[in-house]
Each structure stands twice: as C-alpha cells, then as structure tokens.
Structure 1
Amino acid sequence: MPAGLRQTVQGISGTPLPHGILGASCSTVIDVTEDSIHELNGVEWLAMGCCPARDWPDPCEDPVPGAPTEKEFCRPETEHATPITVYAGAECSAPGFSYEEARAQALASLALGEQHAVEAGFMRTKLTQDAMDITPAEGPLSMAQGVAALEGCLAENYGGVGTLHVPAGAAALLGCCNILREDPATGTLRTFVGNCAVIGAGYSYLNQGPGNIPAAPGTAWLYITGPLVIRRGPVDVIPDRGRASASVNIRNNDRRVLAERTYVVGTTCTICAVNVRVCE
C-alpha cells in the first residue's frame, strides 16, 4: 500500500488503577449534594472509638502487682479533614482545537488521573503531618517487617479494621511473602490481620515520610490509618459551555480548558509510618 497521510482515529482511553484510594473498597466515597455542598470546605467530627477499652481485675481476687487501682476515663478529641482540589487542564492552539475537544481532553485527564492526585494530596497534607514514625533506629525494615510493625502500631492504638497505604512502586514486594490476599468476592486486598490495602501511584510519586521528608534512595514510606471516608464534589469545567469563547487567550490564540473537583479525605484515630527497603 502506498504511503500516505496518517488517519486520525479515536484516542486510547485508560482505566484507573483498581486498588487506589478511590478504586479500592477500603474507602467510603460520598458524593456531596446541594444540601451538603458546604462539606467541601472541610469537615470536623468527634472521634469515635479512639479511646481504649481496658481490663479490670476481679475485686474478689488478691491484687496482682502492677494492676490498676482506679478506672481511667478518656476525653474524645475533635478530628478534621481539609479539602483537596484536583485538576487537569488542556491547552492547544485554538485553530483546529475546538472548545468541545479541549473540554473532552481535560475531562479525560481528570478521570484517569484524579486518583493519583488525591493520593498525593492526602499524603502531603495528612499522612506526613500526623503520622507517628515507628522506623527503628537501626534503619529501614524489610517490607514484611514494615507491614507487621504498622499493623502492631494500629492494633495497639485502635481496635478496628484499618487501611494500609503502599506506594505503587513498592507494591510488587508485597507478593514476596504473601503479605496481601485478594478477597474473591470484592477484589479488596487485605492483610492476614484483616486490614485493607490501598496501592497508590500518588504515594509512589511523592514517597515522603513524616515532615514531608523524601525517602532515601532504595527505600519507601508505608503508612497505616483507620478507615477512610471521602467526600467528593462535582466536576467543574472552566470556562463552561456558556462562556466557551473565554477559553481562548486572544494574545497568543491558545485555548485552555480546566476540569477540577474537590475531595475531602477523612480518617480517624491513629496514623503510623515506617520506612522500608525496596532494594536488597
């Protein structure tokens, strides 16, 4: 066949990673309505279940050395979650690039990439800010040791099922020791303890530890939290169809269209972090 001009066809669509923060059934995702739209400014709540339950000795038995002598009470704390706005923009020369094409490009990029952006925003604004670093003084642990340490930390401080947060770049190591198993009914990845696992490309992109300190070469940061509740706003396209002409910059004749939405990612009680080796 003689050579000729290339034929324009439909672009190749993608599928978000199935075990990310939005795809995994670890997260409860709530789409806010007009009645609850103010929740996208951030939310706060009174922590539930973060105070420990303790054992009490039988008063009819002889006292055991070290046993408590009076019952302890715990004041619940107020927790909060702040908004994370994620966006994707499309830009091209206006001639030959219509508003509808730019809009479709921006929306496609947001649909495929927003999970990555939410994970990065959650790591930057919550995980790295509030986590307790349990990495031993001797240095990073193996992947299996790190997961074990995180699960111990969570179990000691929170009695419920938690969420393990793993960078996508380190996820393959989870299979070396059968650390995770997939629930055949839901596809959820769980540890043997029962904690849910999020495999995040956004975590891999940042790979930061407590205080936003980047991981050293050959290492990665893992986190564990309580359950996740994610509030999700509607997608906003700027400018909207009614102002399509505003997408063109008359100085350079470029067209720009932006798609964005706001998320509020909440978790509860304890956050633990550990540094692990990814190169042996």
Structure 2
Amino acid sequence: MATGMLKAVEAIPGTPLPHGILGGCADVRDVGDVHELMGVEWLALGCCPVRDWPDPCNDESPGDESPGAPAQKEFCRPETEHAAPITVYAGAECSALGWSYEEAREHAEATLALGEQQALEAAFWRDKLAMDTIDLTPDAGPVSVAQGVAALEGCLAESYGGVGTLHVPAGAAALLGCCNLVHENPATGTLRTLAGNCVIIGAGYSAMNTGPGNIPAEPGTAWLYITGPLVIRRGPAETIPDRSASVNIRTNDRRVLVERTYVVGTTCTVCAIQVDVCP
C-alpha cells in the first residue's frame, strides 16, 4: 500500500518504567530557583558513626584507677557533599510543510515525558555511580545476584545506618525474584529488599551497565550499585523556541527542543559489585 493512502492516527502512547529513578524511591522536588539547578552542596548527615559509651559502674579493672590513659569520646567532622546538574532533552524535527509548530511542540514534550527518566538514569550512573564507588567484586569474579545484594547491603550498613537505595539494571531485574530478594510495598508501590532498602530498576542503568571507571560489563554479567537515599531537584520543562518561529528557512525544516534540568544528590558511600546474569 502506498504511503500516501495510509491514514494518519495518533502516536502509540507509552509509560516510563514504574520503579525507575523518578519513582517512589527518590525524593523528587520540583524547584523554581535557578541557583539550585546549577548544582548544590550540603553537609553529609548520617555518615559519621554514633558510638556507645561504656558504663563506668561496670568497670571490672582491678585497683582504684583504670590502667592507661582515660578514654575520650570521639568527634566526627561532617564532609561537604555536592551534586552537579544534569540536563536532558528531546528534539523534534520534520518538514514545516506537514507539521505545525503546535504539533512539533506536542511531539517533543511527549517524547521528553516518556524518555527523560531513562536519560537521567544513564547520566547518574555514568557520572556518579560508576565514578565514585567501592568495588566489592571478589578476586574470583562475579557472584550470584543474591550474594551481590547481600554484599552491597552490608557495605551500606557499615557506613550509613539509614535506608538506602539499590540500583539495578532492568536487564537483571527478573533475577531479584529468584531468591525472594525484593518485595513490593503495597502502601507505597515501591520495591524493598528484606533489609528495607529501596530498589530502583532502571532502563538507563541497563543501557549503561558499566563498572567502576565506566568499564563495560563482561557478557553475561551486570553491575549493581547501592547508595544512601536520593534527593532529586527537578526544574521545569522548557521549550525552545517557545513560539512558532522554529523553521530553518534554508532547509524548510521545523525544529523544536524541549529540555529539563535535574540535580541528583545522594549521601555517604557508593558500593558496587559485579553479578552473573547467565549462571
């Protein structure tokens, strides 16, 4: 059938994956302050250990005085952490003869809405997770998914006492169900491990699937990461140009660009481990 005889209908709608980085695991905050969207910094909270102090009444040392120097309480100086901006965009291009500005803008905005989570995941993985992490992979090589989750949760628990975030590529997500590693919280719809950490399953994570230093994973393996909680600052979606003057008069093509800036922050330790996905 000739193309000219086909009836034009609306595009097939899509839905971002429900447990991605913009799902229920992250604290997503819409902000209008341009300064926050240029990057933020803060004093880390929860990374300093809370220690116990022994009861002097239970001191069983002989004599009137304890040997050695008297014990002193330890103090921790909080570190300054920061997060840089990530801008994602979608551009639509078509002949101006067959596409109005309103149609081009609507298409670009819909494209951004569907794909911005995946783009944000890929950028956060590439620029933060893979570049600022402790590699727990043993010398013997990749481990099972269950062993990997256990190692990551242990690493986080040693440095941060609160609920953290497990980052899983979509290509490895099905294996989380093999050992009942994750369950869905019916009240919030989020995925949780048995230890209580929230789970992000990312399409952008799966597209990257790199280890520390952004070295690609070997075939049949995947990388998992764990962090503290996530706070995501989100700016408004901006359309460029914001009016109908969007045609290149030399080519007669119409172009419309829609972009949005995010700032993704997390805290304390980032841990990584390589797992087998083809045991």
Question: Hey, what's the Cα distance between the residues in 1 that align with 2:60 and 2:242?
Answer: 76
Cα deviations by residue, 1:167-213 (Å, 9 ceiling, x for unpaired): 00110000111110001111110000000000000000011111111
Q: Which segment drifts farther, 9-18 or 187-196?
A: 9-18
Question: Hey, what's the Cα distance between the residues in 1 that align with 2:223 and 2:176?
Answer: 14
Which one of the candidate residues 135, 138, 148 is aligned to 1:136? 138
Aligned counterpart, 1:278:
277
Question: Hey, what's the Cα distance between the residues in 1 that align with 2:151 and 2:52?
Answer: 24
Which one of the candidate residues 44, 48, 52 is aligned to 1:47? 44
Aligned counterpart, 1:107:
109
Equivalences for residues 241-280 of structure 1 within 5 A = 241=243, 244-245=244-245, 247-280=246-279
Cα deviations by residue, 1:38-96 (Å, 9 ceiling, x for unpaired): 10000000111110112333333236xxxx94332111000000000000111111111
Give the letter aligned to residue 274 of structure 1: I
Which one of the candidate residues 32, 35, 54 is aligned to 1:57? 54
Matched, 1:79 2:81: yes
Equivalences for residues 31-46 of structure 1 within 5 A = 31-33=30-32, 36-46=33-43
Question: Hey, what's the Cα distance between the residues in 1 that align with 2:209 and 2:240?
Answer: 31
**Aligned alpha-carbon RMSD (Å):** 1.5
Which one of the candidate residues 178, 185, 188 is aligned to 1:176? 178
Tell me the SS of whatever aligns to 1:19: coil
Give the letter aligned to residue 124 of structure 1: R
Give the letter aligned to residue 43 of structure 1: V
Aligned counterpart, 1:145:
147
Question: Hey, what's the Cα distance between the residues in 2 that align with 1:186 and 1:44?
Answer: 29
Question: Hey, what's the Cα distance between the residues in 2 that align with 1:92 and 1:110?
Answer: 17
- The TM-score, its normalising length taken from structure 1, stands at 0.92
Question: Hey, what's the Cα distance between the residues in 2 that align with 1:251 and 1:58?
Answer: 82
Which one of the candidate residues 160, 163, 186 is aligned to 2:162? 160
Matched, 1:16 2:8: no
Give the letter aligned to residue 32 of structure 1: V
Misfit runs of 4+, over 4 Å = none
Cα deviations by residue, 1:80-126 (Å, 9 ceiling, x for unpaired): 00000000111111111111111111101100000001101111111
Give the letter aligned to residue 277 of structure 1: D
Aligned counterpart, 1:30:
29
Question: Hey, what's the Cα distance between the residues in 2 that align with 1:240 and 1:125?
Answer: 30
Aligned counterpart, 1:6:
6
Give the letter aligned to residue 6 of structure 1: L
Question: Hey, what's the Cα distance between the residues in 1 that align with 2:207 and 2:254?
Answer: 29
Question: Hey, what's the Cα distance between the residues in 1 that align with 2:273 and 2:251?
Answer: 49
- The TM-score, its normalising length taken from structure 2, stands at 0.93
Give the letter aligned to residue 59 of structure 2: E
Question: Hey, what's the Cα distance between the residues in 2 that align with 1:144 and 1:116?
Answer: 25
Q: Sequence identity, in percent?
A: 74
Question: Hey, what's the Cα distance between the residues in 2 that align with 1:163 and 1:190?
Answer: 9
Question: Hey, what's the Cα distance between the residues in 1 that align with 2:179 and 2:34?
Answer: 44
Compute the displacement of 1:235 (Å): 0.5
Aligned counterpart, 1:195:
197
Question: Hey, what's the Cα distance between the residues in 1 that align with 2:270 and 2:122?
Answer: 16
Question: Hey, what's the Cα distance between the residues in 2 that align with 1:116 and 1:273?
Answer: 20
Aligned counterpart, 1:70:
72
Compute the displacement of 1:236 (Å): 0.6
Give the letter aligned to residue 50 of structure 2: A
Compute the displacement of 1:254 (Å): 1.4
Pairs aligned (count) = 268
